[in-house]
């Protein structure tokens, strides 16, 4: 998870449980803030209702008094009308004229005065009764106001009652006026109270919202800035407790994230010793983050150390810690470029240990490794400052001397190296000595040699040193260049010889030592080179073995031998005779060696037991285990395995027992040396001990044949019996045998 993703996850989950709790609390706070307002409103509404009831009572009393006054006026009108009517009746009785248009008449009122009086009197009386007036007081009140008939009898105490009623009526008028004023005053105060309470509630709500809203907005803004990775300023905790706690939490989280970002940048830049990696954010989360960062820093440090180690191992030899072949070639290219620009000389020394295989065989690989390590150390301490020392592989080393004044100085440096290496080495309780063959190649900045070509020249020089007897220093001079040119010409011609059909097969018989019958044939390649005639394999095979061209030659030989076996399947005396083919050590080391042998055999449909694969003893030593595995694979298909030139290499008895061997071929150098009889006998007995048959090569005299037969050799091969011959010559020899004469003995 990235820092930004972590920041978003943090801000989306954590701000925070306290905030969620606070939002619920804020709802209750607002509700509690509204309770006083609601209560005050209810109280004011109650007072308003009470004032309205009092006002209604005052208004009812005022209306009642007005109705009584109107009733009195009506009563006066009725009395006036009655007085008028009586006067008209008196005039009629006396015979006077009657006035039919009085000032006030019943018709002029537009009312039925009698009914109106009755209704009004009943209404007033009912109203007074509702207010709790006794009947007597009600009647006296109506009389006092001129309502009722004048003929009504006046009870005792009439005047006192009338006075009391008048006082009460006047008091009622006053109370109505007072109540009206009080109600108006109360209504004003109530309105003022309502306004103040509403204003106070609004201000309280605004203050509450402000005290909550501003911190929340600041918290929200801070959370957004933290989430979006904008500039962060710590929040100043304000507001309610929950909001402050949330701000504390956000500040702490921001501190964690800010520290994590700085530490991540330091780690990304590889500054694993920066002090920021030791900083710790507050809280338990900070402790956990610090532990995680330190663990990651250690892991990155270990990985960086592992990367450096891998880089070192990729360019250095694991045993001697010198530069390996790849790094040495790269260094040679750089040195060659510098000396070419400076028009200076550069010397390359190809160093090969003499007899190193004997050291391994005699003392074991552990001592051999110690010898290689010591040689590398001596080389490094012997060369000049600035010179390069590397190990090419096996027992081969390289020294690049940059620059040298002359060829003579290059030879002098090479001799100093050889003298340093040949000094005895104390390895444990042993004293081991080895010599070196050194080939020197010079680049003068003019010849235009590449690094690979220069190394090749040095290799040619050391090869010539080996040919001339070892423990020598050879320069790649003009003579060697001429030889190199000759070999290059042969190599180019050989590449064209295979597709051009210039190669041919010869076969040399191998006879049973006891019966002198044909036991097998060895296939030997010859080159019918245009303009040169038949060229011996000693000329072109060593050249081919220096390149992958030898694999092409081997594959061609395998194909030709299988074809010949197929042709001889129907030839009496040859159908059961196996043929051996020689395979180079370079081809044996190739990954496709086994398939190069088996695939053609399968395609040809030949019995694999009719094929023998010969490997020289020296070819096995380079990688004995790999060679043994490949040869065992072939042997599992019934292909026989023969070790050629046995006795010239450094294979020990232990090595022989680990190899899949069917045939041991004793080298011709032991056959021609009469003093080597005991050694030959040892080889024959050793071969029989491991279950191998013995073939003696290079038999040129009958005495040699008889002697080796007596020593126990199973088969004989040499010019005494026959030279290598074409396939048709082999068939002619067998025809002679059919005529009763021994083949291959004339």
Q: Of the candidates 240, 249, 247, 258, which has an alpha carbon nearest to the alpha carbon of residue 218?
A: 247
Least confident piece of the model among 19-23, 347-351, 395-399, 670-674: 19-23
The whole-number pLDDT of residue 634 equals: 94
Helix runs in 17-157, H state only:
17-94, 106-109, 113-130, 135-144
Residues 519, 696: contact at Cβ < 8 Å?
no
Give buried/exposed letters for 442-476 (b at 16+ CB in 10 A, else e): bbebeeebebeebbbbbbbbbbbbbeeeebbbbbb
C-alpha 713 chain-centroid distance = 66
The whole-number pLDDT of residue 220 equals: 72
- Residues 6+ away with beta carbon under 8 Å from 602: none
3-state class (DSSP) for residue 349: strand
The whole-number pLDDT of residue 580 equals: 96
> How far apart (Å, rounded) are the C-alpha atoms in residues 147 and 542?
166
> How far apart (Å, rounded) are the C-alpha atoms in residues 19 and 247?
9
The whole-number pLDDT of residue 312 equals: 75
> How far apart (Å, rounded) are the C-alpha atoms in residues 388 and 565?
54
Least confident piece of the model among 346-355, 357-366, 642-651, 662-671: 642-651
Q: DSSP for 10-56?
A: HHHH-S-HHHHHHHHHHHHHHHHHHHHHHHHHHHHHHHHHHHHHHHH
Q: What is the percent of the chain with per-residue pLDDT over 70, rounded to a whole number?
A: 67
> How far apart (Å, rounded) are the C-alpha atoms in residues 363 and 357?
10
Q: What is the pTM assigned to this prediction?
A: 0.49
Burial category of 29 from C-beta neighbours within 10 Å (exposed 0-12, middle 13-18, buried 19 and up) = middle
Q: Is the pLDDT of residue 301 over 90?
A: no
The half-sphere exposure of 719 on its side-chain side, counting CA atoms within 13 A, is 6
Q: Of the candidates 420, 409, 419, which has an alpha carbon nearest to the alpha carbon of residue 475?
A: 409
Give the helix/strand (H/E) hosting 437.
strand 435-443
The whole-number pLDDT of residue 102 equals: 46
The whole-number pLDDT of residue 646 equals: 78
Q: Of the candidates 316, 404, 394, 341, which has an alpha carbon nearest to the alpha carbon of residue 618?
A: 394
> How far apart (Å, rounded) are the C-alpha atoms in residues 84 and 102?
8
The whole-number pLDDT of residue 663 equals: 94
Q: Is the pLDDT of residue 2 over 50?
A: no
Rounded average pLDDT over 16-23: 52
pLDDT tens for each residue of 223-232: 776 666 666 6
Q: DSSP for 219-264?
A: HHHHHHHHHHT---------SSHHHHHHHHHHHHHHHHHHHHHHHH
> How far apart (Å, rounded) are the C-alpha atoms in residues 384 and 316?
20
Q: Of the candidates 644, 669, 702, which has an alpha carbon nearest to the alpha carbon of residue 516?
A: 702
Residues 506, 706: contact at Cβ < 8 Å?
no
pLDDT tens for each residue of 77-110: 545 544 554 455 455 555 554 444 444 444 444 4
- Residues 6+ away with beta carbon under 8 Å from 175: 58, 61
- Find the distance separating the first CA and the last CA of the chain, reported in whole Å: 90
The half-sphere exposure of 643 on its side-chain side, counting CA atoms within 13 A, is 30
Residues 346, 443: contact at Cβ < 8 Å?
yes
126 confidence band (pLDDT: 50, 70, 90): confident
Residues 423, 417: contact at Cβ < 8 Å?
no
Residues 193, 44: contact at Cβ < 8 Å?
yes
C-alpha 66 chain-centroid distance = 104
Q: Which CATH class is domain 316-476?
A: alpha beta
Domain boundaries in the chain?
17-198, 239-313, 316-476, 509-738
Query: Which of residues 708 and 119 earns the better pLDDT score?
Result: 708
pLDDT tens for each residue of 373-395: 999 999 999 999 989 999 998 89
The whole-number pLDDT of residue 110 equals: 45
pLDDT tens for each residue of 467-477: 788 899 999 88
221 confidence band (pLDDT: 50, 70, 90): confident
pLDDT tens for each residue of 243-276: 777 777 777 777 777 777 777 777 777 776 777 7
Q: Which CATH class is domain 509-738?
A: alpha beta
Rounded average pLDDT over 50-79: 54
pLDDT tens for each residue of 585-612: 889 988 899 999 999 999 999 999 999 9
Q: What is the percent of the chain with per-residue pLDDT over 90, rounded to a whole number?
A: 32
Longest dimension (CA), the chain: 219
In angstroms, the Cα distances linking 458 to 256, 291, 398 are: 64, 57, 9
């Amino acid at each position: 998870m990235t820092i930004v993703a972590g920041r978003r996850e943090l801000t989306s989950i954590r701000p925070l449980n306290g905030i969620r709790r606070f939002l619920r609390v804020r709802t209750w706070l607002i509700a509690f803030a509204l309770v006083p307002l609601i209560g005050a409103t209810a109280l004011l509404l109650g007072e308003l209702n009470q004032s309205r009831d009092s006002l209604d009572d005052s208004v009812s009393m005022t209306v009642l008094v007005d109705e009584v006054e109107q009733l009195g006026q009506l009563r006066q009108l009725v009395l006036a009308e009655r007085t008028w009517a009586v006067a008209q009746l008196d005039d009629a009785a006396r015979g006077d004229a009657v006035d039919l248009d009085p000032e006030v008449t019943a018709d002029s009122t537009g009312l039925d005065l009698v009914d109106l009086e009755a209704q009004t009197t009943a209404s007033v009386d009912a109203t007074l009764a509702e207010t709790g007036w006794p009947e007597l007081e009600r009647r006296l009140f109506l009389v006092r106001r001129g309502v009722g008939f004048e003929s009504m009898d006046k009870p005792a105490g009439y005047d006192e009652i009338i006075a009391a009623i008048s006082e009460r009526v006047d008091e009622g008028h006053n109370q109505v006026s007072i109540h009206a004023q009080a109600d108006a005053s109360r209504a004003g105060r109530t309105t003022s109270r309502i306004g103040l309470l509403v204003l106070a509630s609004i201000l309280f709500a605004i203050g509450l919202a402000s005290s909550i809203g501003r911190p929340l907005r600041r918290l929200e803004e801070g959370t957004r800035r933290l989430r979006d990775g904008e500039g962060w300023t710590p929040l100043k905790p304000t507001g309610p407790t929950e909001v402050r706690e949330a701000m504390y939490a956000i500040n702490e989280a921001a501190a964690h994230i800010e520290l994590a970002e700085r530490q991540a940048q330091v780690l990304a830049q590889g500054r694993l010793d920066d002090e920021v990696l030791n900083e710790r954010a507050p809280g338990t989360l900070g402790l956990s983050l610090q532990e995680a960062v330190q663990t990651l820093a250690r892991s990155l440090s270990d990985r960086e150390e592992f990367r450096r180690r891998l880089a070192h191992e990729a360019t250095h030899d694991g045993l001697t810690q010198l530069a390996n072949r790849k790094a040495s070639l790269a260094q040679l290219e750089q040195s060659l470029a510098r000396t070419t620009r400076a028009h200076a000389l550069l010397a390359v020394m190809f160093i090969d240990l003499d007899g190193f295989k004997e050291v391994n065989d005699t003392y074991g690989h552990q001592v051999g490794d110690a010898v290689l390590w010591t040689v590398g150390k001596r080389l490094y301490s012997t060369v000049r400052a600035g010179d390069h020392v590397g190990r090419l592989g096996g027992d081969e080393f390289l020294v690049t001397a940059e620059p040298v004044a002359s060829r003579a100085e290059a030879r002098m440096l090479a001799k100093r190296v050889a003298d340093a290496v040949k000094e005895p080495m104390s390895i444990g309780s042993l004293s081991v000595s080895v010599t070196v063959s050194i080939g020197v190649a010079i680049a003068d900045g003019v010849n235009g040699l590449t690094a690979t070509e220069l190394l090749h020249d040095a290799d040619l020089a050391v090869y010539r040193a080996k040919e001339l007897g070892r423990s020598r220093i050879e320069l790649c001079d003009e003579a060697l260049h001429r030889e190199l040119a000759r070999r290059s010409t042969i190599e180019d011609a050989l590449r064209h010889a295979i597709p051009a059909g210039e190669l041919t097969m010869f076969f040399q018989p191998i006879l049973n030592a006891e019966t002198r019958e044909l036991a097998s044939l060895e296939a030997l390649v010859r080159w019918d080179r245009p303009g040169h005639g038949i060229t011996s394999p000693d000329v072109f095979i060593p050249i081919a073995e220096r390149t992958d061209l030898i694999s092409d030659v081997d594959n061609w030989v395998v194909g030709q031998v299988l074809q010949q076996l197929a042709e001889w399947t129907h030839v009496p005396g040859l159908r059961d005779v196996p043929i051996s083919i020689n395979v180079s050590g370079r081809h044996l080391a190739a990954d496709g060696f086994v398939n190069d042998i088996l695939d053609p055999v399968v395609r040809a449909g030949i019995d694999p037991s009719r094929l023998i694969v010969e490997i020289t003893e020296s070819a096995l030593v380079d990688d004995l285990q790999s060679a043994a595995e490949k040869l065992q694979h072939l042997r599992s298909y019934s292909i026989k395995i023969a070790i050629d030139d046995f006795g010239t290499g450094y294979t020990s008895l232990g090595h022989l027992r680990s190899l899949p061997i069917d045939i041991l071929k004793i080298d011709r150098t032991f056959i021609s040396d009469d003093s080597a009889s005991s050694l030959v006998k040892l080889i024959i007995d050793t071969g029989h001990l491991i279950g191998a048959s013995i073939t003696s090569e290079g038999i040129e005299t009958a005495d040699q044949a008889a002697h080796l037969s007596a020593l126990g050799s199973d088969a004989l091969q040499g010019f005494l019996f026959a030279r290598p011959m074409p396939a048709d010559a082999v068939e002619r020899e067998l025809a002679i045998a059919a005529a009763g004469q021994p083949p291959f003995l004339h």
